[in-house]
């Protein structure tokens, strides 16, 4: 039973990672950077493989959908000749593998076809909508990171007091409440009753938006020195970001708390305490850093759930982001848009995972760059 | 840690202190709509699109309160004796937003472009308009294949685009041969228009902002809105929040009763009830068992509780009488109207060939996800039908899926409930779009009537130039339709809008609105007092 | 054979003592007991809904506009919705669908996921391992909800299809978890012993390795139950799950949110319903994890 428990623990705590620790060796920096390059190369190859597989999967799902994409694109009253022409253009008269091949070819060059709903090219839509989603995700991620760690640390610091219990209750509420419930009630309380925050969009209609540089309103406003737009943008993003982050934040808090508790029982902490090092120093200098490793590991997975839940949040807040775009595309069977939007999520997810692996390695010298999985 | 908490606290306080910095136009008109909105005159045809097009583009003629055509871009017109050639004289002082003069070749181009692309309102003209000629810059002649009685009324839908500007933005190669994409890509988010409002900002699926065209050729009232915003949301809580904060002047027509009640309690907000040129139909598939049996359909028509619909679900509406709404020129009052009568319903059901196997023949009713109140009708239908033993499955379907599934006979559901409106103010508009064979594969006809007798009758009616005898034929057609019972005629469309009655003078709210879709909220007829 | 059996179960204590020890570990935390009680209670409520519910017709094809939108009262504890249906009744029936979702999804997902996980783990570093694990890589590379939404869009919306969609994206997580355990066990003494005694591959997979994965599978299942309900609620929130008039908690919240804040009870009680059932499974899951000694998270 012993090994099962240990292994299960590890697997649960970071599913992505296959545990196979190499012999500990003292790193020298040259070897380290070599290893980094090799690690990155391997991860990137793996990422490419995953993304191609994902594209095949999504392409199949989209093509199984009933309905003729050409007719849908041209409208119900379009003349037959125009539809047939578009079918040829979209290779719909060819077998699936060939269709996929042509789709892949143009997708590589950034051409995902036209959207049925917006009547524009999908890549144009994505360029417009993605920064909004990214901005939302970044704010949510920052909030969930900071609030999660703070709550977890507070809870660990005041372990087994009423504060600890309070945090635990908050964490449970965060975990069990669907994000859309948070969103609805936040709008109700903070926008409707208290009138503190706006309800829809990224900027109020009276405010002139900053020129598009990154596409992220608050960042663009900062770059161009437009405090009014920055402030307005910040107010718009606050509620959606918080409702999005509540669930994962609770997760982070719980993990930080339990990992603090685990490490607090370790010998090295007892040793430090015996040496008379003040509790505060132990906490922030020696205890917190290793305890954050599982938190950061889970951060990647939480980022995924964040992007997933953004679908509902963006819908409720009318946030003009890629998730809402993808959601509408799914509801309205806008195939090109569905495929492209999901692919973008795949790419983001893969990148975030690699970044998280690198971050974990920085924090924990015991974990070497692993080249597997 | 404390520093961090302090910082967070600071942010919150800061938020409270600066929670309202808004700088807006002097007389804004902000409205909410069901998206998508297409501002390409050859693509858009639904409610929000026609509103946007009507605000930004000009047409040759415009309807007055009764729907009769009045001069607009055209100052005068005449029709040849055989009814096949319509000649229009155009104003010479009209300029597009970019300064180009509007000439007859732009009119010709607009018609050609619409016919080539084949989307939007093209069905009103395709097969009818043979050629357009522009003998001089201020004369345009439409040559028709056959005489077409209501032609003048259909011209409300010919929005004139700037040929030079569109052709400068064409992408080649495209699906339309040497015309490339005919400017379709560009016109998705740009306009080439001459109307009273200019496109200021267009965020797809989010908002459309138009500013007043101060160089407009027609004199507008000084109190017309100077900025017109169309927001792409119908989310009840959002609409309500915007309205209560004074950031919305007119709410969309898709708000539920509950939402409207709440909205009208806000200070300064009134309720406008606007009769629309349309009807709420439950379209029954006439070629799919069990609804292919006329007795089965009649049984449903007798079992439906219309009174609950008009009193509880859509209060203030009137049960429809036949396929044409009452306000529409050409409506016939003498057609039969079904009333709820369970005995008659059972009697009809017994005559149907599915009577012995009702449980094996469930009826599937689709309602449109974007219109929450439709669910109530669907559920009421379900419980009404359960009373006579018909099994009903209710399915919520997004609008685009309805468009797609109604394109083929076998994917069309037994029943789909849809608000449909006439595209021009004459009964023929609905008689054609709802029941003529060419429209069978569109969302406007789930009935799949495919009745050649009806088609011939309708064609004859449309060729009749004399209004009175044309209307007589419309009456016959209405009787013909009602006899087949292909539809549950629910109620005449009445859109209810919560609006700022304290600052707005809105003719449509007083009942002054032409029976043409998309004319109730045109900015040029509305005055804002601050 | 006897040797391997003893090795797999460790020191081979008698069953009764094992159960007692497990119960002790489980019940150490009062929250686990609360969770267990809640799950049992919700199960009873759901199963006995037709008897307990104050107004069973409300869950079916029923409308009564004269009772529409009543606030909570002695007659209707949680009020009525815009169709005049009793909300408490619909929440109780809603539990049925949530629980059914959990049962169907998990019973589809766990066997499939576990089977592939065992296979890949045992045949580690062969083409079987590579094939299976690369496929799971693809599935876990996008957020589960996104994929479920896409699959739902292909199929016609409905309870069953929502379950299929959730299952399709869920099995790889079990595969990956079992893979981790199985591949590390492969080199263990008892597995090698079984191989030496000439045991068949299937015997080793299901009789030697599988029992050692059970505790982690069970823990994951109890924690996943809450997630399945949340995802199901999200699907119905956007209209891709259960269809009217089926009482489903997610779609009840979605519909009710249109009538906020005046008729708050229409959406608030179903929202509480979701929270309650998810909380119950989470507490239970934590308890089971404690029982097996896995670290708390």
B272-299 pLDDT, tens digit per residue, is 999 888 999 999 999 999 999 999 999 9
Residue A333 within a domain: yes
**Residue A124 CB contacts under 8 Å (≥ 6 apart), including other chains:** none
Check CB contact of A15 with chain C, cutoff 8 Å. yes
pLDDT-based confidence at residue C219 (cuts at 50, 70, 90): confident
Residue to mutate among A199, A283, A321, with most B CBs inside 10 A, is: A199
Q: What is the pLDDT, as a whole number, of residue B76?
A: 95
pLDDT-based confidence at residue A4 (cuts at 50, 70, 90): very low
Whether residue A44 is predicted with pLDDT greater than 80 in this model: the reply is yes
Sheet holding B392-397, edge to edge: B392-397, B363-368, B415-421, B269-284, B487-500
Show the 3-state SS of B246-282: CCCCECCCCCCHHHHHHHHCCCCEEEEEEEEEEEEEE
Residue A40 within a domain: no
Contact C183 A18 (CB under 8 A): yes
Whether residue B1 is predicted with pLDDT greater than 80 in this model: the reply is no
Q: Which of B16, B122, B229 is the closest to A77 by Cβ?
A: B122
Task: Please tell me the pTM assigned to this model.
Answer: 0.79
What are B341-391's pLDDT values in tens digits?
999 999 999 999 999 989 899 999 999 887 778 888 999 999 899 999 999
Q: What is the pLDDT, as a whole number, of residue C15?
A: 67
Least confident span in A57-71, A166-180, B146-160, C78-92: A57-71
Q: Which contiguous run of DSSP H or E holds residue A148?
A: helix A122-157
**Residue B188 CB contacts under 8 Å (≥ 6 apart), including other chains:** A118, A119, A120, B38, B39, B40, B204
Among the three residues A109, A135, A161, which one is the final residue of a domain in this structure? A109
Q: Which of C156, C157, C258 is the closest to B256 by Cβ?
A: C258
Contact C61 B376 (CB under 8 A): no
Assess whether A169 and A86 both reside in one domain.
no
Mind telling me how many Å the CA of B205 is from chain C's nearest CA?
Answer: 17
Per CB-CB distance under 8 Å, the chain A contacts of B233 are: 200, 318
Phi, psi of B76 (to 5 degrees): -155, 165
CB contacts < 8 A (A, C): 184
Contact B21 A231 (CB under 8 A): yes
Q: In terms of CATH, what superfamily is B57-184?
A: Dipeptide-binding Protein; Domain 1 (3.90.76.10)
Phi, psi of B461 (to 5 degrees): -60, -45
Per CB-CB distance under 8 Å, the chain A contacts of B240 are: 192
**Residue C276 CB contacts under 8 Å (≥ 6 apart), including other chains:** C38, C42
Residue A182 within a domain: yes
Check CB contact of B347 with chain C, cutoff 8 Å. no
**C-alpha triplet B253, B258, B260: angle, nearest 5°:** 40
Whether residue A18 is predicted with pLDDT greater than 50 in this model: the reply is no
Whether residue C139 is predicted with pLDDT greater than 80 in this model: the reply is yes
Instruction: Give the span between the Cα atoms of B344 and B359, in whole angstroms.
Output: 20
Q: What is the pLDDT, as a whole number, of residue A75?
A: 62
Assess whether A297 and A357 both reside in one domain.
yes
A218, A223, A225, A230 alpha-carbon torsion, rounded to 10°: 0
Q: Determine contact, residues A40/A350, Cβ cutoff 8 Å.
A: no
Assess whether A134 and A203 both reside in one domain.
yes
Q: What is the pLDDT, as a whole number, of residue C5?
A: 42
Q: What is the pLDDT, as a whole number, of residue A172?
A: 87
pLDDT-based confidence at residue C2 (cuts at 50, 70, 90): very low
Specify which residues B140 forms β-bridges with. Answer: B88
Q: What is the pLDDT, as a whole number, of residue B13?
A: 43
Whether residue A141 is predicted with pLDDT greater than 50 in this model: the reply is yes
Mean pLDDT calculated for residue range B24-33: 87
Assess whether A93 and A211 both reside in one domain.
no
Residues 293..312 of A with a Cβ closer than 8 Å to C: which?
294, 304-305, 307-309, 311-312
pLDDT-based confidence at residue A279 (cuts at 50, 70, 90): confident
Check CB contact of B237 with chain C, cutoff 8 Å. yes
Whether residue C289 is predicted with pLDDT greater than 90 in this model: the reply is no
Assess whether A187 and A222 both reside in one domain.
yes
Assess whether A238 and A299 both reside in one domain.
yes
Whether residue B20 is predicted with pLDDT greater than 50 in this model: the reply is no
Contact A8 C144 (CB under 8 A): no
- Range from B119-133, B475-489, C214-228 that averages highest in pLDDT: B475-489
Whether residue B522 is predicted with pLDDT greater than 70 in this model: the reply is yes
Domains and CATH numbers, chain C: 96-283 (1.10.3720.10)
* Domain span holding position A93: 66-109
**Residue A96 CB contacts under 8 Å (≥ 6 apart), including other chains:** A60, A63
Residues 176..195 of A with a Cβ closer than 8 Å to C: which?
176-181, 184, 188, 192-193
Mean pLDDT calculated for residue range A66-75: 67
Residue A32 within a domain: no
Considering chain B, tell me which residue range(s) the CATH 3.90.76.10 domain(s) occupy. Answer: 57-184
Per CB-CB distance under 8 Å, the chain A contacts of C139 are: 57
What are the b/e assignments for B30-64, b being 16+ CB within 10 Å? bbbbbbbbbbbbbbbbbbbbbbbbbbbbbbbbbbe
Residue A339 within a domain: yes
Per CB-CB distance under 8 Å, the chain C contacts of A184 are: 253, 257, 260, 267
3 state SS of B416: strand
Check CB contact of A281 with chain B, cutoff 8 Å. no
Q: What is the pLDDT, as a whole number, of residue C201?
A: 82
Contact B206 A153 (CB under 8 A): no
Locate the chain B residue with the closest alpha carbon to A89: B175
Contact B258 C156 (CB under 8 A): no
Mean pLDDT taken over chain B: 89
In terms of pLDDT, which residue wins out, C80 or A196?
C80
Contact B404 A72 (CB under 8 A): yes
In terms of pLDDT, which residue wins out, B233 or B32?
B32
Percent of chain B at pLDDT > 90 equals 65
Assess whether A91 and A141 both reside in one domain.
no
Whether residue B186 is predicted with pLDDT greater than 90 in this model: the reply is yes
Contact C144 A51 (CB under 8 A): no
Q: Tokens representing C88? A: 């408490």
pLDDT-based confidence at residue B21 (cuts at 50, 70, 90): very low
Q: Which of C61, C245, C258 is the closest to B372 by Cβ?
A: C258
Assess whether A99 and A244 both reside in one domain.
no
Contact C260 A350 (CB under 8 A): no
Residues 220..239 of A with a Cβ closer than 8 Å to B: which?
228, 231-232, 235, 238
Percent of chain A at pLDDT > 90 equals 7
Q: What is the pLDDT, as a whole number, of residue A193?
A: 83
Locate the chain A residue with the closest alpha carbon to B29: A205
**Helix spans in B57-145 (H):** 104-117
CB contacts < 8 A (B, C): 55
Chains within contact range of chain B (3+ C-beta pairs < 8 Å): A, C
Mind telling me how many Å the CA of A15 is from chain C's nearest CA?
Answer: 7
Q: What is the largest CA-CA distance in chain A?
A: 86
Tally of domains within chain A: 2
Whether residue B99 is predicted with pLDDT greater than 90 in this model: the reply is yes
**Residue B30 CB contacts under 8 Å (≥ 6 apart), including other chains:** A205, B229, B231, B242, B247, B248, B249, B250
Mind telling me how many Å the CA of C155 is from chain B's nearest CA?
Answer: 12
Whether residue B11 is predicted with pLDDT greater than 60 in this model: the reply is no
pLDDT-based confidence at residue C188 (cuts at 50, 70, 90): confident
Q: What is the pLDDT, as a whole number, of residue C251?
A: 86
Contact C138 A50 (CB under 8 A): yes
Chains within contact range of chain A (3+ C-beta pairs < 8 Å): B, C
B4 to each of A149, A165, B9, how far by Cα in Å? 12, 22, 9
Residue to mutate among A137, A172, A175, A181, with most C CBs inside 10 A, is: A181
Contact C244 B258 (CB under 8 A): no
Locate the chain A residue with the closest alpha carbon to B240: A192
B249 to each of B30, B270, B350, how far by Cα in Å? 5, 10, 53
Least confident span in A164-168, B78-82, B434-438: A164-168
Assess whether A102 and A225 both reside in one domain.
no
Per CB-CB distance under 8 Å, the chain C contacts of A176 are: 226, 274-275, 278-279, 282
Q: What is the pLDDT, as a whole number, of residue B488?
A: 96
Q: Determine contact, residues C82/C266, Cβ cutoff 8 Å.
A: yes
Assess whether A179 and A279 both reside in one domain.
yes
Instruction: Give the span between the Cα atoms of C174 and A15, in whole angstroms.
Output: 10
Contact C292 A12 (CB under 8 A): no
Instruction: Give the span between the Cα atoms of C269 and C9, in whole angstroms.
Output: 46
Mind telling me how many Å the CA of A273 is from chain C's nearest CA?
Answer: 24
Residue A230 belongs to domain with CATH number: 1.10.3720.10
Q: Which of B4, B5, B38 is the closest to A119 by Cβ?
A: B38
Instruction: Give the span between the Cα atoms of B236 and B259, in whole angstroms.
Output: 6
Assess whether A163 and A309 both reside in one domain.
yes
What are A194-226's pLDDT values in tens digits?
888 887 777 776 666 777 778 888 888 888 888
Check CB contact of A179 with chain B, cutoff 8 Å. no
Contact C215 A1 (CB under 8 A): yes
Mean pLDDT calculated for residue range A1-23: 38
Asked: is B275-493 a CATH 3.10.105.10 domain? The reply is: yes
Assess whether A285 and A202 both reside in one domain.
yes
């Amino acid at each position: 039973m012993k090994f099962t428990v240990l292994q299960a623990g590890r697997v649960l705590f970071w599913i992505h990672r296959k545990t196979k620790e190499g012999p500990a060796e003292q790193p020298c920096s040259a070897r380290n950077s070599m290893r980094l390059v090799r690690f990155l190369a391997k991860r990137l190859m793996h990422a490419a493989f995953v993304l191609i597989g994902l594209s095949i999967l999504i392409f199949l799902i989209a093509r199984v959908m009933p309905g003729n994409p050409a007719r849908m694109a041209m409208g119900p009253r379009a003349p037959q000749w125009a539809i047939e022409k578009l079918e040829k253009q979209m290779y719909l008269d060819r077998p699936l593998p060939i269709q996929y091949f042509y789709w892949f070819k143009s997708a590589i060059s950034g051409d995902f076809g036209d959207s049925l709903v917006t009547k524009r090219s999908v890549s144009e839509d994505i360029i417009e909508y993605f920064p909004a989603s990214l901005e939302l995700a970044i704010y949510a991620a920052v909030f969930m990171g900071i609030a999660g760690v703070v709550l977890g640390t507070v809870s660990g610091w005041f372990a087994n007091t009423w504060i600890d219990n309070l945090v635990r209750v908050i964490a449970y509420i965060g975990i069990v409440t669907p994000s859309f419930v948070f969103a609805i009630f936040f709008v109700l309380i903070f926008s409707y009753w208290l009138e503190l925050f706006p309800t829809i969009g990224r900027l109020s209609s009276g405010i002139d938006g900053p020129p598009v540089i990154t596409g992220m309103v608050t960042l663009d406003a900062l770059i161009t020195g437009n405090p009014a737009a920055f402030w307005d943008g910040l107010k718009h993003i606050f509620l959606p970001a918080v409702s999005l982050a509540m669930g994962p934040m609770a997760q982070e808090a719980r993990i930080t708390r339990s990992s603090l508790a685990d490490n607090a029982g370790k010998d090295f902490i007892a040793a430090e305490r015996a040496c008379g090092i003040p509790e505060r120093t132990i906490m922030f200098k020696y205890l917190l850093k290793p305890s954050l490793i599982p938190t950061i590991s889970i951060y990647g997975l939480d980022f995924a759930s964040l992007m997933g839940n953004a679908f509902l949040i963006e819908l409720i807040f009318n946030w003009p982001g890629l998730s809402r775009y993808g959601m509408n595309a799914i509801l309205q069977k806008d195939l090109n848009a569905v495929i492209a939007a999901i692919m973008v999520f795949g790419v983001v997810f893969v990148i975030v995972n690699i970044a998280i692996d690198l971050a974990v390695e920085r924090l924990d010298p015991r974990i070497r760059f692993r080249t597997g999985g | 840690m404390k520093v961090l908490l302090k910082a967070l606290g600071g942010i919150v306080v800061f938020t409270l202190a600066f929670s309202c910095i808004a700088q807006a136009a002097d007389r804004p008109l902000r409205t909410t709509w069901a998206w998508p909105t297409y501002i390409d005159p050859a693509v858009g045809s639904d409610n929000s699109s026609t509103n946007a097009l009507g605000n930004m583009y000009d047409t040759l003629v415009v309807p007055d309160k009764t729907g009769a055509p009045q001069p607009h871009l055209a100052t005068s017109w005449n029709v040849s004796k055989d009814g096949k050639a319509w000649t229009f004289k155009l104003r010479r002082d009209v300029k597009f937003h970019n300064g180009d003069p509007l000439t007859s070749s732009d009119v010709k181009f607009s018609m050609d472009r619409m016919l080539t692309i084949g989307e939007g309102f093209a069905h009103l003209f395709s097969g009818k308009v043979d050629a357009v000629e522009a003998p001089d810059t201020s004369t345009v002649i439409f040559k028709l294949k056959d005489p077409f009685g209501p032609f003048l009324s259909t011209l409300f839908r010919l929005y004139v685009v700037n040929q030079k500007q569109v052709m400068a933005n064409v992408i080649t190669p495209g699906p339309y041969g040497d015309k490339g994409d005919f400017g379709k890509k560009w016109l998705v988010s740009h306009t080439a228009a001459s109307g009273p409002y200019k496109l200021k900002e267009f965020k797809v699926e989010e908002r459309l902002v138009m500013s007043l065209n101060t160089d407009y050729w027609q004199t507008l009232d000084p109190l017309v809105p100077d900025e017109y915003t169309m927001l792409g949301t119908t989310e009840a809580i959002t609409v309500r929040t915007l309205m209560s904060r004074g950031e919305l002047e007119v709410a969309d027509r898709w708000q539920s009763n509950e939402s409207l009640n709440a909205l009208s309690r806000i200070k300064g907000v009134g309720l406008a009830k606007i009769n629309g040129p349309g009807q709420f139909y439950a379209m029954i598939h006439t070629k799919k068992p069990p609804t292919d049996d006329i007795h089965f359909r009649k049984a449903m028509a007798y079992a439906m509780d219309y009174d609950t619909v008009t009193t509880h679900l859509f209060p203030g509406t009137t049960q429809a009488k036949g396929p044409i709404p009452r306000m529409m020129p050409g409506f016939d009052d003498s057609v039969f109207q079904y009333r709820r009568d369970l005995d008659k319903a059972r009697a009809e059901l017994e005559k149907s060939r599915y009577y012995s196997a009702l449980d094996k023949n469930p009826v599937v009713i689709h309602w449109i996800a974007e219109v929450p109140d439709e669910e109530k009708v669907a559920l009421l239908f379900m419980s009404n039908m359960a009373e006579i033993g018909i099994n009903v499955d209710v399915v919520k379907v997004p609008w685009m899926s309805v468009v797609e599934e109604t394109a083929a006979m076998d994917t069309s559901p037994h029943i789909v409930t849809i608000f449909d409106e006439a595209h021009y103010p004459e009964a023929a508009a609905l008689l054609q779009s709802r029941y003529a064979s060419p429209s069978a594969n569109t969302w406007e006809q789930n009935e799949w009537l495919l009745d050649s007798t009806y088609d011939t009758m309708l064609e004859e009616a449309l060729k009749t130039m004399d209004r009175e005898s044309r209307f007589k034929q419309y009456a016959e057609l209405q009787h013909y339709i009602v006899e087949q019972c292909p539809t549950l005629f629910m109620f005449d469309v009445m859109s209810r809008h919560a609006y700022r009655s304290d600052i707005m003078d809105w003719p449509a709210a007083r009942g002054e609105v032409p029976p043409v879709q998309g004319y109730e909220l045109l900015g040029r007829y509305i005055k804002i007092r601050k | 054979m006897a040797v391997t059996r003893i090795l797999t179960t460790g020191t081979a204590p008698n069953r009764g003592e094992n159960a007692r020890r497990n119960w002790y570990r489980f019940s150490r935390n009062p929250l686990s007991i609360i969770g267990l009680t809640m799950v049992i209670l919700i199960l009873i409520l759901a199963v006995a809904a037709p008897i307990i519910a104050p107004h069973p017709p409300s869950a079916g094809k029923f409308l009564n506009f004269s009772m529409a939108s009543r606030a909570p009262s002695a007659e209707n504890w949680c009020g009525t919705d815009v169709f005049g249906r009793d909300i408490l009744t619909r929440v109780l029936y809603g539990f049925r669908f949530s629980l059914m979702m959990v049962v169907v999804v998990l019973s589809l997902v766990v066997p499939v996921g576990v089977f592939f996980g065992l296979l890949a783990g045992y045949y580690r570093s062969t083409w079987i391992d590579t094939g299976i694990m690369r496929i799971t890589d693809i599935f876990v590379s996008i957020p589960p909800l996104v994929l479920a939404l896409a699959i739902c869009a292909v199929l016609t919306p409905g309870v069953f299809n929502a379950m299929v969609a959730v299952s399709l994206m869920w099995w790889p997580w079990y595969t990956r978890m079992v893979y981790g355990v199985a591949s590390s066990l492969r080199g263990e003494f008892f597995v090698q012993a079984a191989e030496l005694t000439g045991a068949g591959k299937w015997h080793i997979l299901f009789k030697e390795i599988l029992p050692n994965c059970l505790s982690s599978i069970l823990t994951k299942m109890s924690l996943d139950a809450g997630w399945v309900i949340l995802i199901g609620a999200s699907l119905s929130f956007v209209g891709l799950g259960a269809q009217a008039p089926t009482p489903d908690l997610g779609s009840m919240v979605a519909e009710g949110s249109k009538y906020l804040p005046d008729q708050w009870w229409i959406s608030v009680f179903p929202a509480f319903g979701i929270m309650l059932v998810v909380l119950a499974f989470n507490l239970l899951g934590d308890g089971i994890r404690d029982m097996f000694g896995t670290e708390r998270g």
